[in-house]
Structure 1
Amino acid sequence: MRKLFLTILSLTTLATFAQRPTTQTKPIKITGTVVDKDSGQPLEFATLVVQSVDDPSKVDGGITDFDGKFTVNVPAGNYNLKVEYISYKSFTLNNQNLTSDKDLGKIALTLDATQLEAVEVVGERTTVEVRLDKKIYNVGKDLTNSGATISDALNNIPSVDVDVEGAISLRGNENVRILINGKPSALAGFGSTDALRQLPADAIEKVEVITSPSARYDAEGTAGILNIVLKKEKVLGFNGSVNAFVGDPANAGVTFNGNLRTKKFNLFTTLGYRYRDAPGNAIFDNTYTSGSFDRVFEDRTYNRLDKNLNANLGIEYFLTENSSITAAGFYRQSDENDLTENSNQRFNDGSVTSETFREEDQNEDGDTYQVSLNYVNNFNDDGHKLTADFQYSKNNQIQTSVIEENQNIPTNELIALENVFEDEEEREYLIQADYVLPMGEAQFEAGFRSTLEQSITDYQLDSLDQASGNFVTNENLTNKFTYDENVHAAYVQYGNKYGKFSVLAGLRLENTILKGKVESEFDPEALQEELGIDVDVNFDKDYLGLFPTVNLVYEISETENFSIGYNRRINRPRGWFINPFPSRSSRTNIFQGNPDLDPAYSNAFDIGYLKRWKKLTLTSSVYYQKETNSFERVQEETGQTTTDGIEIVRSIPINLSTQNRYGAEASVLYNPTKWLRLTSSFNYFKFSTEGFFNGVDYGTDNSSYFARLGSKITLPADINWQTNAFYFGPRANAQTETKGITSINLAFSKDIFKDNATVSLNVSDLLNSRRRKSFTETEFFTSRSEFQWRQRQVTLSFLYRFNQSKNDRQRNGNRNGGGDDDYEFEGGQS
């Protein structure tokens, strides 16, 4: 099969290049072998270009086979010869007078340091490609990702931060849109990033950071878009890998990536199982100006046990040489148990007057399904293309919680015993088509997308009536909330290159329909009074908006350019921000949605600069964003107290009037020697917010920054040592100040079994310092808190590659790097 493929590919290449006179009776044979100068390994699919000196329009050539050998037949004559291979310096022989067969012998190519970062070397490094509307980080062999999740891997990407609770932000802004393979997906969760904590990082091929999205992308996400591209090998034959890992605290699992490719189909799969215990802790020290106690101190411990199975299976069938249809299915089954223990001390005048112990035992069983169909027709090799997609996703989560609270001081007695039942079902349909028409150096695109989402949350709270000994349903909190979000969009965009200028401009039209329906015994008017605002809990809203985008690049040279981007974006409220019924994570602190929330809109500008030297690459940008109707979560008193006299505090999202955000960022890749690679990034941002709610001014001005520093060192015996350090500076909003957070990840790896396997040891949060410390102050209470979602993690992993040597993986990455639909500019990769 491999030789058949090689023969077909060689004939195709020769047919493309060859323009031979039919009168030639005895062609000249050119032979040779192309190898890597350092390793001596043959370079498969290197290209030999043979150009006539007398008539440069006559070009012939061929490619190397799996042993790096090539054979090309040409008529006798004068030729310029060139051997090329991606990321390597070219080999040239000019003015060769060929009158007889010529053997060029062994041609040793060396890596071109100025192009290293243009190549996705899957086996060795993380690189970045800069496009007109995005930066693409080829995740590569990041040692700290071994045994990790996608959420962990994102935390190693410049401009991205994943906080201690798993919330993802881009340039310090949490309103970021998460896509999988360019589309909304159940793999990323429905409006939540929890699913990314369950999927293995091994499945990622690359991450696209899109801070100035073009019109082809959703307008959702005022901060921008993170597009996670999953692996799908394109190499003939059967190949894959198995990664098994074990860690402390309890963390074990196995992931299998497999691929079978023939001439007519490509079968690919990712299977994974994970068992993970994630212990965490938190403390809250609250003081009050009213109520039965002047201080309440809470000490919480979290024991989270997650067991989940992921299966992704797909097949791409090649209808013709230029068209294919892909069918894929995804299934995730999760079984989670979270035990939260809360020791609560209440003070008056510095003395403990009451002490309680609260225990919440929550079990959650979830199933997620997704099926998709994709049709691709490449009309020619110039990029003329039509794609069509259909996707259906369903997610069902059933939670049952038992909450028991007992008083220890001054008496031993049961305060409350509650049973909580929550059944959440989410469905999503997606229909999409995109058309790309190249026109010389220009490119025209058009397409549409319809996304229909519905989530139904069925919530019931039963409390023990100690007088009767029976559980009684709390009708004021029991409810069923149905939320629909339907978005219909169409776009056009045009890209062209004018000398050293490249431009990509587009316009997207989106119609957003938001519907909410509450079914409850609770009186809607009483609920409005509970919210403190005049809202309609059963709503039907319709928004129509235009979203222009413009991206410009001026190419100073092949190694230096400037870019300017503008885009308009939207932030739609998710279901849990809309649901007006309060959550019950604590008797004294509740979260309540706001049905009156409207979408927020932003206008964003970005100016970038890129420069490459021989061993160093710099990417940088400054940006400005103005958002109207921006969301903000505020805390306020409810006027209610618990049965034992503690003030109940509520968090609620609101639309503030405006938010202005300014920032600058820079990333550096530095390869001083073969054994050392350094990466660093820095992002500074400043934001100001204006707005009032219930007569309170929530305006604020604040700034913060975050920085990363990474190193990869090759030690003796070819042991790789990688260190990633991260610091997020202090920050604040109108009510809360948060201190800076430092974390360090450390990893070692060694290739064994003739480079077919790799053993790795990594430590996540080496200093056990990834804790959020914050201080909140309002007119009626203050709160000092410290929260650690997960303690330091040590993981040992073993990765075995079959029918896929390390060098094969590198060469495959070279051939398959880059996106399918991107409008590139020359010299634009770094």
Structure 2
Amino acid sequence: MKKNGYLLSLLLLVVAAPLALAQFPGGPGGPPRSGDGNGRPSRAADPAPTNFEMTTPKGNSKITGYVVDSSLTQAVEYATIALVDLATSKPIDGTVADEKGKFSLTRVPEGTYRLLITFIGYHDKVLGPIKIEKGKDLDVGVVKLSVNEIQLEAVTVTGEKPLIEEKVDRLVYNAEKDMTSQGGDAADILRKVPMLSVDLDGNVSLRGTSNVRVLINNKPSTIVASSIADALRMIPADLIKSVEVITSPSAKYDAEGSGGIINIITKKSTLQGLTLSLDTGVGLRGSNLGLNGSYRKGKLGITLGGNGRAFYNKAFVTLDQTTLQEGTSVLTRQTADAFDNGLFGRYNLGFDYDLGKNQSITAGVNFGKRNFSRDQDFTTNIFRNNVLSGTSYRNVDSRDLSNSVDFNLDYLRTYKPGQEWSVSTLYSVSNLTNNFDADILSEGGSLSSRQRNINGNLNQEVTLQTDYVHPIGKRQQLEVGVKGIFRQVNSDFEYQTAGPTGLFASDVTNPSGFLNYSQNIGAGYLSYTYATANKYTFKLGSRYEYTSISAYDQNADIAIPAYANLVPSLNISKSLSQSSTIKLAYNKRIQRPGLQQLNPNFNAANTQNINIGNPSLRPELTDNLELSLSTNFKKTYLNVSLFGRQTNNGITRIAMPSDTLLGAIVTTWENIGQEQAVGANVFGNVYLTSKWTLNGGVDIFYNYLEGLQQDLSGLSVPVSNAGWVVGGRLQSQLQLPNGWGIQAFGGYRGNRVQLQGSQSGMGMYSLGFRKEFNNKKGSLGLAAENFFGGMKMQSTLTSPLFTQVSVNNIYNQNIKATFSYKIGKMSFVEKKRTKSVRNDDVKSGGEAN
């Protein structure tokens, strides 16, 4: 290992010495620069000048010393040391510090010199003049380098991150720069991210498909597997640092998520010392409180924090549906007043520890809590052949409760830059309760009977994973890994009834039931990257996954065959210039059913619009193709993407009239669909001035769906639907003097195509102000959302057996005041690299059953 360290030191000396020497005053080439001269970041820095001659030392003296971090008193490994003749300003020797920060220059001749010590992320240090006498050694002692506040980003060298960045394989939305985010939840953030759409219920889609995988800090969570919408409500916006959108994942990612991967990165401390931050907000529609602390000393870092959010919202829903049942036309007209209350929290405890200079472990416990209730008062009129046959009144109190715990323990071993081995483990468990209590009233308003649905769910996962990355020369890299996921889903449900008074008893007309569902996945992958001298980069790989399933309910075993999938991926990029890159990507993806799509509970909170899962669902398969061009010109960044998507065996929502309830529609999930989409995304960001940015984009695609539905004779017949979908967003941010700032946002999601109908578009807009004070340690803000009125969304479904039109009016105007403050003594340190489990393999089920 020590031999490898010195070989690496020699390599770094050859590469880094010209860079370091070029920075020395009077040295050749002058200071290095990044960019094209117009304030734009360059794709790759130009090679440093090498037009100098290094003379060979012929003396017998030696210069030694140690290089350490000024704030941490720890070694700066591989710092570059250059010895420069004071009279000629020419370098005569150089070396690189070892893993302990120690350096040594031998055979130094008599003379007067300067020492230049450099390392990425630190200010340069110049020692001198240094006078060397013949035959005498010099120990310069401990040389402290101070951290440079300008950090090296993936593509740019900048003192402050922009709102939106594009990296090699993903787009990054830096939510911490969003002034209007405080007091909201993750769904409010995702609505502003390019290529993403979020509906009123918090269901996410990427380029028109909801088949996406959402990760939190590169890790899955069982609450996300159960329902993405519920998980987004649980995560406070104040906790989110950035959102990464990965449209073409490589083989190292799980094959799940046909549309791509959304990775939500929460705020983590990279500070040394003790810190404490408070974030709070009070609004007409919701309030939030967050308190987070961290302690970092030497090799140990500890974080502890919690964020909570409470909200309420009103809605008014109308439903008109006509069904053909038993040869009779049945018209259902329904209205419902709804009042939602929610209390969500997320709490975490984590630590990381350096076992040695090349080894580290991290561990964490995350606890999430969701308490969501909806009170609805239904009035339903039933017409038979246009004649009113009955009116019913139903008051429903629904409870959607859950708690989730995620525990991870990870180990990382780094052999040399680019070569590392990691072992990651994860245990995740969620307990979910989806109950409702209903009071059935007579036309006179008196209580006639009561109904109750008890539905408890347990979802738990154990994941073991190991990955190895190995560089081959300067232009190649090999990645290999294996992974096992062991998943268990259990659901128990029961209906109970009672009279106006008395105890509840089991409903004999609707027997209780359960589902035990076990899923084991074994996977392995191999990925290879090759970069050519003419600026082509090829990344190709393949992933093999084998899935076995055992399931049974109260009646019998459910036969679901095991299946195996070979999932290839290919990413090609070409740098056309320092400011332009073109990319071509292909990948195959799998989408497994989620808990709410499997859950067989017959949810009849609304007896005219019923949901039920299907435990026999199989995965769907998708092929994705993408071509994109990104470029910088003057002060503008532009990205244009063309994409195509083909999905087979699609998990599709299908509706049909009920066999037993007059005028009711039952919605379930089936593997009957095929979907094709072809479209484009255009996104741009322009600096109108150094303090004023404007960014926005347009998404447009043509969507075609086909599947099966029942005809008048009860047979399954083909059905298809197609149409254009258009959406877009526009956002502007202005930094004003004296710590003031203003931000405005507007976005629209166009009409959506469904297999049996369509869903109307929706718009969101917000305006926020913020004042920072006390050297940016504190801030006060005021933000407003949808302040001209609420939102309205209409959904239309049609088939030979029914038509349904539902209109949802959401009164979500909101004004909120926010306050944040940070205290503590802190100093920036390099963030430790960690590896953790990524489970990207479960489809969201949308609304909970």
User: Could you tell me the TM-score, scaled by structure 2's length?
Assistant: 0.79
- CA apart distance, 1:82: 11
2:697 counterpart residue number: 681
**1:50–1:79 contact (8 Å) kept in structure 2:** no
| Partner residue of 2:558 out of 524, 535, 538 | 538
Matched with 2:451 is 418
User: More displaced, 569-578 or 231-240?
Assistant: 231-240
- 5 Å-filtered alignment, 1:27-46, equals none
Query: Residue 362 of structure 1 is aligned with which of 398, 404, 407?
Result: 398
Name the SS of the counterpart of 1:379 in structure 2: strand
Q: By how many angstroms is 1:161 displaced?
A: 1.2
Q: Percent identity?
A: 23
Q: Specify the alignment match of 2:582 in structure 1.
A: 562
Please report how far the alpha carbon of residue 782 of structure 1 lies from its aligned counterpart in structure 2 after TM superposition: 2.1
Q: Is the 8 A contact 1:120 1:817 kept in 2?
A: no
* Residues 1:591 and 2:611 are matched in the alignment: yes
Deviation by residue 1:670-721 (Cα, 9 ceiling, x = unmatched): 1120231111011111121233344232212222021010001234544211
Match of 1:287 in 2: 322
Q: Tell me the SS of whatever aligns to 2:686.
A: strand
User: Quick one: structure 1 residues 475 and 322, their matched pair in 2 at CA, closer, same or farther if it must change by over 3 Å?
Assistant: farther
Name the SS for the 2:510 alignment partner: coil
The answer (yes or no) to whether the contact 2:362–2:834 under 8 Å persists in 1 is no
Segment drifting more, 418-427 vs 268-277: 268-277
Q: 1:118 aligns with which of 141, 152, 156?
A: 156
SS of alignment partner, residue 656 of structure 1: strand
Partner residue, 1:655: 671
Amino acid in structure 2 at the alignment position of 1:611: T
- CA distance in structure 2 between the partners assigned to 1:660 and 1:637 by the alignment: 28
Counterpart check, 1:184 vs 2:220: yes
2:280 counterpart of 1:260: no
Call closer, same or farther: CA 1:337–1:242 in 2, change over 3 Å.
same
Q: Deviations over 1:84-121 (max 9, x none)?
A: 99999x99x9xxx99999xxxxxxx9999x99973686
| Equivalent residues of 1:62, 1:71 under 8 A apart | no
> Which runs of structure 2 are paired with 1:310-389 in the superposition (5 Å)?
310-347=346-383, 354-380=390-416, 382-389=417-424
Please give the alpha-carbon distance, in whole angstroms, between the structure 2 residues aligned to 1:62 and 1:79: 23
1:775 corresponds to 2:810: no
1:305 aligns with 2:341: yes
How far apart are 1:563 and its partner, in Å? 0.4
Aligned pairs for 1:125-274 within 5 A? 125-131=162-168, 133-186=169-222, 188-249=224-285, 251-274=286-309
Q: Give me the whole-angstrom Cα distance separating, in 2, the residues matched to 1:178 and 1:788.
A: 28
1:128, 1:135 within 8 Å by CA — same for their partners in 2? yes
User: Contact (CA 8 Å) 1:282, 1:300: kept in 2 or not?
Assistant: yes
The answer to whether the 8 Å contact 2:223/2:430 transfers is no
Q: Structure 2 CA distance, aligned partners of 1:57 and 1:737?
A: 77
**8 Å contact from structure 1 (residues 743, 768) kept in 2:** no
Runs of at least 5 residues in structure 1 that lack an aligned partner in the other structure: 1-11, 22-27, 35-48, 102-108, 525-536, 822-830
State whether residues 182 and 227 of structure 1, in contact with CA within 8 Å, keep that contact through their aligned partners in structure 2: yes
Residue 747, structure 1, aligned to residue 798, structure 2: no
Question: Which residue of structure 2 aligns with residue 479 of structure 1?
Answer: 513
**Equivalent AA in structure 2 for residue 295 of structure 1:** L
Q: Is the 8 A contact 1:465 1:471 kept in 2?
A: no
Q: For 1:758-800, what per-residue CA distance to the aligned partner results, in whole angstroms no more than 9, with x for missing partners?
A: 1122223334443321222222332221224661222211111
Conserved 8 A contact 1:51-1:79: no
1:364 Cα shift? 4.3
CA distance in 1, matches of 2:16, 2:772: 48
Give a deviation string over 1:723-751, Cα, whole Å, max 9, x none. Answer: 11111112322322222211112211110
Looking at structure 1, the residues matched to 11 and 306 of structure 2 have their Cα atoms a distance apart, in angstroms, of 41
Q: 1:711 aligns with which of 732, 744, 764?
A: 732
Change (3 A) 1:304 1:467: closer
How far the C-alpha of 1:162 sits from its partner, in A, is 1.3
* Stretch moving more, 137-146 or 612-621: 137-146
| SS of corresponding position for 2:596 | helix
- Aligned-residue offset at 1:664: 0.7
Task: Say yes or no: does 1:731 pair with 2:747.
Answer: no
- Whether contact under 8 Å (2:436, 2:605) holds in the other structure is no
Residues 511 and 545 in structure 1, CA contact (< 8 A), matched pair in contact too: yes
**CA–CA distance in structure 2, aligned partners of residues 736 and 705 of structure 1:** 17
Shift in Å, 1:609: 0.6
Report what 1:514 is aligned to: 549
- CA shift for structure 1 position 156: 1.5
* 1:234-280 superposed Cα distances (whole Å, 9 cap, x missing partner): 3322234210111112x222112322222211112331122222333
In structure 2, the partner of 1:803 is: 824
Q: For the residues of structure 2 that align with 1:789 and 1:543, how far apart are their CA atoms?
A: 43
CA distance in 1 between counterparts of 2:483 and 2:584 reads: 27
Residue 310 (structure 2) aligned to one of 253, 257, 275: 275
Q: SS where residue 140 of structure 1 aligns?
A: helix
Q: CA deviation at 1:289?
A: 4.7
**AA matched with 1:626:** Q
**CA spacing shift, 1:547–1:477, aligned 2, 3 Å:** same
CA distance in 2, matches of 1:82, 1:669: 39
Moved more, 712-721 or 674-683: 712-721
For residue 641 of structure 2, what is the amino acid of its counterpart? S
**SS of the residue aligned with 2:561?**
strand
Q: Is the CA contact (8 Å cut-off) linking 1:164 and 1:771 kept in structure 2?
A: no
Does the C-alpha gap of structure 1 residues 507 and 469 become closer, same or farther in structure 2, counting only changes over 3 Å?
Answer: closer
Q: How far off is 1:20 after superposition? A: 14
Which of 464, 480, 484 aligns to 1:431? It is 464
Cα distance in structure 2, aligned partners of 1:637 and 1:163? 26
Return the offset for 1:147: 1.6
Distance in 2 between the 1:416 and 1:364 partners?
Answer: 23
Flag the 1:14–1:266 CA change in 2: closer, same or farther, 3 A.
Answer: farther
1:482 Cα deviation after fit: 1.3
Alpha-carbon separation, structure 1, partners of 2:521 and 2:809: 37
In structure 2, do the counterparts of structure 1 residues 316 and 820 end up closer, same or farther at CA, with 3 Å as the change threshold? closer
Query: Which residue identity does 1:320 align to in structure 2?
Result: G
